């Protein structure tokens, strides 16, 4: 696995109270070539506006069900196969300048469990307008390390953890489809 442009970095784990963080799932979609799906957040200023699909876990919903639902809502992808799930929650707090509905509902941030899926479909399956108002206005396949470089700064430590957790899967997916 390659290193970030600034050299290898490890996620800076800091203790936080997860009880005040909204339960959420994050999804890394990996194509046969070992590239990951990144979406450009609609209505978010560049350059730090690319991210993986993610979303809240509804009341009574399991985390895997939430991941599949969010992936379908945000990307339209259906030709998927589960590869892995993180064991523990990863959390981030919203910065003071962050304005959003989640803060209004009393959440200080989000805690996420992450899933990696292999995408076995064709690119034409991706449909950003599938769920009404699109969360993303563009998408692309990228190297997994690029996600850390292009996500909003307050999510970077979680993204570093995701790269560490799922990076080895990239090599496995590539090897299986050579």
CA distance 124 to 132: 18
CA distance readout (Å), 22 to 1, 39, 79, 112, 144: 31, 22, 28, 8, 25
Domain count for the chain? 1
CATH number at residue 115: 3.90.79.10
Report yes or no on 41 lying in a domain: yes
Q: State which residues form the domain around 166.
A: 22-176
CA distance 90 to 10: 14
Q: What is the pLDDT along the chain (178 residues), one digit of tens a residue?
A: 333 344 445 544 455 677 889 999 999 999 999 999 999 999 888 889 999 999 999 999 999 999 999 999 999 999 999 999 999 999 999 888 766 655 556 788 999 999 999 999 999 999 998 766 789 999 999 999 999 999 999 999 999 999 999 999 999 999 887 6
Token reading at 60? 């009574």
Q: pTM of the prediction?
A: 0.87
Report yes or no on 14 lying in a domain: no
Report yes or no on 63 lying in a domain: yes
Report yes or no on 26 lying in a domain: yes
Q: How many CB atoms lie within 10 A of CB 46?
A: 9
């Amino acid at each position: 696995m390659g290193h970030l442009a600034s050299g290898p970095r490890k996620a800076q784990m800091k203790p936080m109270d997860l009880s005040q963080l909204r339960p959420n799932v994050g999804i890394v979609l990996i194509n046969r070539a070992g590239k990951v799906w990144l979406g450009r957040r609609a209505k978010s200023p560049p350059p730090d506006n690319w991210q993986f699909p993610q979303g809240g876990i509804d009341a009574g919903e399991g985390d895997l069900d939430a991941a599949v639902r969010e992936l379908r809502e945000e990307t339209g992808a259906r030709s998927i196969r589960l590869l892995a799930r993180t064991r523990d929650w990863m959390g981030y707090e919203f910065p003071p300048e962050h304005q959003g509905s989640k803060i209004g509902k009393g959440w200080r941030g989000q805690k996420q469990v992450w899933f990696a899926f292999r995408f076995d479909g064709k690119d034409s399956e991706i449909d950003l307008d599938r769920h009404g108002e699109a969360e993303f206005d563009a998408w692309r396949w990228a190297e997994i390390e690029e996600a850390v470089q292009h996500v909003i700064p307050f999510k970077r430590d979680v993204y570093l953890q995701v790269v560490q957790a799922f990076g080895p899967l990239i090599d496995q997916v590539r090897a299986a489809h050579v």
